[in-house]
């Protein structure tokens, strides 16, 4: 359902330590677009964290509609 939205996420390392978080209001989008925007913001945060540059990552989605990002990639 389209409407006002905000996105957020957290980044954890392989040992379960919290490395970063974000929460951002966004324009009016449907839930799929909001989920994609959250993923893009998370990737931007990874670029800032030098220790993660060039390392493999796993993207997890908590969306009830989609089991993961694979459907969009």
Can you give the pTM of this predicted structure?
Answer: 0.67
Q: What is the pLDDT of residues 30-60, one digit of tens each?
A: 777 888 888 898 888 888 887 777 778 888 7
Q: What is the pLDDT of residues 1-20, one digit of tens each?
A: 666 778 888 888 888 888 88
* Burial annotation 11-24 (CB, 10 A radius, 16+ → b, else e): beeeeeeeeeeeee
Cβ contact 12:38 at 8 Å: no
Q: Of 54, 18, 72, 33, nearest to 9 (Cα)?
A: 18
């Amino acid at each position: 359902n389209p409407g006002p939205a905000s996105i957020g996420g957290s980044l954890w390392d392989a040992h379960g330590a919290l490395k970063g978080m974000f929460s951002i209001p966004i324009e009016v989008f449907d839930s799929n677009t909001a989920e994609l925007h959250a993923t893009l913001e998370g990737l931007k945060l990874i670029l800032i964290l030098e220790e993660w540059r060039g390392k493999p990552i796993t993207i997890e989605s908590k969306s009830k509609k989609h089991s993961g990002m694979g459907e969009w990639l």
